[in-house]
């Protein structure tokens, strides 16, 4: 995947810090890798916690709805972390999904994107050019630098 398509603040990302494929058996290892890299990059505890929650939700969505596997990329710019998950599934039906609070009485889920939108400054959801595959990119600024997260 070419991360140059995602241009936070107009700048293409530099080196990618994590580029890892995953499936259901690799979720624990994926979270451990992300925590280690985010810590090494100087992320604060809240930013790491939000990164792990967002990455887990996005990876789980890729596994359940996107064909059972996916690819996660993590990169940074200054104190902002970018977490991108791509799958090759049938594509998301509603890229604006999760913009409103889901019905808490629904047992079939639907909360993942809403959680992600509320833990990030920005969440970009893109469907592949042929309608297959979904790429979700989350922007996670550090609260320590005065950047706020999405509305709660």
C-alpha angle 90-109-70 in degrees, rounded to nearest 5? 40
* 63 within some domain: yes
Query: Rounded CA gap, 80 and 109, in Å?
Result: 29
- Give counts: helices (H), strands (E), the chain: 3, 5
Check whether 4 has a pLDDT greater than 70: no
Provide the residue range defining the domain that includes 95: 19-145
Residue 17: count of CB within 10 angstroms of its CB: 18
* 35 within some domain: yes
**Cβ–Cβ < 8 Å for 56, 31:** yes
CATH number at residue 88: 3.30.565.10
Number of domains in the chain: 1
Alpha carbons within 13 A on the beta-carbon side of 45: 0
Token pair of 64 as six digits: 């359940």
For 45-84, b/e burial (b = at least 16 CB within 10 A) is: eebbebbbbbbbbbbbbbbebbbebbbbbbbbeebbbbbb
* 10 within some domain: no
* 150 within some domain: no
pLDDT tens string 108-146: 667 899 999 999 999 999 998 888 999 999 999 997 654
**Cβ–Cβ < 8 Å for 113, 143:** no
pLDDT for 21: 97
pLDDT tens string 30-88: 999 999 999 999 999 999 999 999 999 999 999 999 999 999 999 999 999 999 999 99
Token pair of 43 as six digits: 């992320």
pTM of the model: 0.84
The model's confidence at residue 6, banded by pLDDT at 50, 70 and 90, is: very low
């Amino acid at each position: 995947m070419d991360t140059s398509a995602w241009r936070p603040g107009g700048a293409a990302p530099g080196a990618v810090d994590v580029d890892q494929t995953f499936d259901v058996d690799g979720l624990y290892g994926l979270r451990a890798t992300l925590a280690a890299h985010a810590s090494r990059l100087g992320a604060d505890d809240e930013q790491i916690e939000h990164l792990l929650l967002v990455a887990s939700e996005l990876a789980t969505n890729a596994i359940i709805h996107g064909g059972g596997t996916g690819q996660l990329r993590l990169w940074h710019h200054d104190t902002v972390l970018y977490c991108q998950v791509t799958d090759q599934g049938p594509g998301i039906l509603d890229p604006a999904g999760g913009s409103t609070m889901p019905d808490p009485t629904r047992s079939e889920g639907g909360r993942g994107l809403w959680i992600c939108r509320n833990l990030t400054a920005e969440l970009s959801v893109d469907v592949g050019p042929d309608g297959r595959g979904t790429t979700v990119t989350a922007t996670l600024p550090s609260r320590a630098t005065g950047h706020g997260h999405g509305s709660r």
